[in-house]
Structure 1
């Protein structure tokens, strides 16, 4: 069974393709969206809602937004343990897979996972490692805007047309321009910003609130920081639906409040809105299109709900964007379609999906200027937005006669200087004495899964050298994956049927932290519910859970 997964910065979803379309699975709490949050309680792992509540009650044992660390060697400390972003993502994947298996009644072994279109080679490989650590084979990585357009193109469009998809999620911003025709979804250009998303708009509010009340955010305790971010996230959502909003909270023993209207929020966010313009303009230039050439503009991702985003797009293209697809679900639905394509679903036999290489790939060269040799220049071999799979070749020559070897560096990026690009690997090619001046042929082959193969062939002798870029500095190798997999197996993922009870208790504990006047009542409720759990009577537990939840809803 192949599933489609949207592994998001703030929320994740999982589903499968059916003959009638994509079906997304609910988690143990009855929600389609699972917060991408992990928390440790001893040797027990909590994922989703209960972990999200523990960001307030146990900030040192809980973590969110770790997707931004994918592909880096950074480790997050939870208590006495340290985790890389791949491991934390694997724990989220394991929770999603448990939900899917509960709904399907069978084991899930393969998946298509969506990634931001502008994810680097290292970030894509880290996502594959997360799948391996979660115990599944990642059949394919699909760019998030492409997934969204795939769902949109197959479900809602008849005929052909060019579509611009803007995907503003919790942590990343992606732009893709696609053409839909005769069952083909063809990507023409993609661009983006891996560090621009809903979290950055939240950070603006945090800084503005602290500045207004003369608070140094660096001096706040982890608990106060978590409370502030939680309240301002709710505040941000209120500003999405209302003209103005008010936030009230207690920090550092002071009762504080702040009012802001939506135009004021938009003014605060102007630097971020300007950052959104650059990738949009780059994608349009790369696709060689004018605004009038587009048939539709589609907004996806939870952060596009902010009115300022629609206004920006309307001003840039002089038309209203489409938002009728559920912004949180579009990418996941597209991933299920891609999974169906991989599984050769009969209802998708006529669909063809193409994608592009998001970054330019090339090597380092030197220029001879007079008697001087200047090194460090980037020589593109596969330009960005080339349709994949693609294979291109170029000829390179040694700098000096009698040179015994030639170092071929592999880089990705858009700068003319290699020092500003990302090094992926290198091949040290021995040159045959007396034959080296004829140079070498360097061939780059890049496939739809982001795998880069580099071949270097001596022009004179035909001797061939090959490097498959499977690892980058900072990524886990096969031995490290095995070691970390064994370590993850020692952690217990709480049984799915008990997650609802855990979530309810952690929610009550969070409210206990916030509502000082209600603490005796909340403590009594928690004790009563824990006592009900000890009875192990499913009917009684279900009844008390409903009543406890309703009481907490009323308090909240």
Structure 2
């Protein structure tokens, strides 16, 4: 049995595909959401979920939350003088969720689909896989949280949908995805996000707003720092939740039987959180820009994540989009339900045979190059993109690079993921050295092809036409447990993509047709056809499937009309 897991910053959830539908599995307390909290005492006894969260105020030095934000970093948490990585803490949550499924179904899950923020980089995704392995779960696939939510939303009626936007604001991360559904295909057009923006940040704003308003605030200073922080954090969460349904709510902290209280209004909180609300705008704009979709063309704006309950967020979205967002899907349940749908797809679940999901590359992939300015000075470590972010995957793209020095015998480059021009600010995935013939600068070229799939497998193929030399580098999660047979199967599936669009049969045929038309006409008609050829060649050079398909359709239509108008 495969399960779907929403591994959240604040809360986590698990769901299964059963009897033709996706359903959540309750934990031992009968709750559908399990707080992403872990507490370990000096004897090694471990509490998970609600029990751990209840210990946060009383035993803050033994309890940890929000560790998802540390995934893929060197940061660790210390519980009882022992350091734990974010992967280890996440593994505790994952194991607990798997135990809940076994208790409910009598069957131990053999694998899982785990959701991650769309804007998680490769390090963070690898860390999530490691957490699954530590928990004893085989991670069959990582799926982006907005994609999972789109599945849950889109399968409510199985109908086709024009592009809609999934707005996913959780406890620690923020994601935006633009999704389209047609003929049983769920196509992600673009994703963007902010891995440092979520409900936790709004809680910090609440603390900063409320604390100066508390009477006898000095009583808090008598508490140890970790306990004071935990009390304020819990009070902020409670107040923020109450303000989702009330015009004002108390911010209350109890110190030595003394209750410190301040009343917070919705207006005060909105003003204090204005800078965070402004940060919600940039990922939305980026996703629209990358997908070439106008905001007026969106059929819906779907809310996901508990933090979207805040009126301050809903008001901002209503102003941003000029419409009320759609909250028909349970914001806390949608991601887990969608993950279970993906798990059902992998296991051949009943009623899912006609559904296919396409996703996009969350970050740009490329290499580092050197450049020379007008004075002849070299600048190294410059990022040269090969596969742009939000390109549909699987995908294969090629770029050509040349030598810069006379007699150069080697080209060395690193493989990076990110958006910064300086590769030092991007994530390095690997490195390759390629020998080249010693010739004058600029006379030797290499073709670098990147081929990337949804599992995170990246193949780098390098060819030196001058010498016939070929090199291949496979970059994959170091903890990927796929067998050599499965890995080879994945690589063969990618092999079919390693053809430049110019060489594909339908494009070759269309180019031949338009060239014949150019030869068959003269004057103004020939000039127009020449422009058509140039435009189609430009589209082919983008190596973008959607751009090429649109250009091919336009050129075919134009040629059809031209030939229809010919005299008999």
Same fold (TM over 0.5): yes
Tell me how far 1:14 sits from its aligned partner: 0.8
After TM superposition, the structure 1 = structure 2 runs for residues 272-421 of structure 1, keeping only pairs within 5 Å, are 272-370=276-374, 371-421=376-426
In the alignment, is the contact (CA less than 8 A) between 1:186 and 1:355 conserved in 2? Answer: yes
Question: Is there any run of 5+ residues in structure 2 with no aligned partner, and where?
Answer: 482-568
Which residue, out of 458, 479, 485, partners 1:452? 458
Q: Which deviations, in whole Å up to 9, do the C-alpha atoms of 1:29-50 show, x marking residues without a partner?
A: 1111011111113222211011
Matched residue SS, 1:125: helix
**Inter-partner Cα distance in structure 2 for 1:332 and 1:457:** 44
Say which is worse superposed, 154-163 or 426-435, in terms of deviation.
426-435
After TM superposition, the structure 1 = structure 2 runs for residues 153-552 of structure 1, keeping only pairs within 5 Å, are 153-156=154-157, 158-213=159-214, 221-251=225-255, 255-370=259-374, 371-433=376-438, 437-470=443-476
Q: What residue in structure 1 maps to residue 19 of structure 2?
A: 19
Tell me the matched-pair count.
Answer: 475
**Inter-partner Cα distance in structure 2 for 1:157 and 1:345:** 16
Tell me how far 1:471 sits from its aligned partner: 5.5
Flag the 1:243–1:157 CA change in 2: closer, same or farther, 3 A. farther
**Inter-partner Cα distance in structure 2 for 1:49 and 1:454:** 46
TM-score (norm 1): 0.82
Matched residue SS, 1:57: coil
In the alignment, is the contact (CA less than 8 A) between 2:185 and 2:357 conserved in 1? Answer: yes
Matched residue SS, 1:410: strand
Tell me how far 1:138 sits from its aligned partner: 0.8
Q: What residue in structure 1 maps to residue 2 of structure 2?
A: 2
After TM superposition, the structure 1 = structure 2 runs for residues 138-157 of structure 1, keeping only pairs within 5 Å, are 138-156=139-157
Structure 1 or 2, whichever has the larger Rg, is: 2
Larger RCO, structure (CA 8 Å, separation 6 or more): 1
In the alignment, is the contact (CA less than 8 A) between 1:149 and 1:165 conserved in 2? Answer: yes
Q: Which deviations, in whole Å up to 9, do the C-alpha atoms of 1:69-97 show, x marking residues without a partner?
A: 00011121111321111111011100000
Q: What residue in structure 2 maps to residue 508 of structure 1?
A: none
**Inter-partner Cα distance in structure 1 for 2:226 and 2:16:** 39
Tell me how far 1:113 sits from its aligned partner: 0.5
Say which is worse superposed, 251-260 or 178-187, in terms of deviation.
251-260
**Inter-partner Cα distance in structure 1 for 2:270 and 2:128:** 33
Flag the 1:238–1:403 CA change in 2: closer, same or farther, 3 A. same
TM-score (norm 2): 0.80
Q: Which deviations, in whole Å up to 9, do the C-alpha atoms of 1:333-377 show, x marking residues without a partner?
A: 000001111112230111111000011111111222232222232
Q: What residue in structure 1 maps to residue 77 of structure 2?
A: 76
Say which is worse superposed, 377-386 or 203-212, in terms of deviation.
203-212
Tell me how far 1:241 sits from its aligned partner: 1.1
In the alignment, is the contact (CA less than 8 A) between 1:125 and 1:470 conserved in 2? Answer: no
Matched residue SS, 2:109: coil
Matched residue SS, 2:345: helix
Q: What residue in structure 2 maps to residue 124 of structure 1?
A: 125
**Inter-partner Cα distance in structure 1 for 2:236 and 2:317:** 25
In the alignment, is the contact (CA less than 8 A) between 1:377 and 1:417 conserved in 2? Answer: yes
Flag the 1:165–1:218 CA change in 2: closer, same or farther, 3 A. farther
Matched residue SS, 1:375: strand
Flag the 1:54–1:401 CA change in 2: closer, same or farther, 3 A. same
Q: What residue in structure 1 maps to residue 35 of structure 2?
A: 35
Say which is worse superposed, 3-12 or 419-428, in terms of deviation.
419-428
**Inter-partner Cα distance in structure 1 for 2:333 and 2:133:** 24
Matched residue SS, 2:280: helix
**Inter-partner Cα distance in structure 2 for 1:303 and 1:273:** 12
**Inter-partner Cα distance in structure 2 for 1:294 and 1:23:** 29
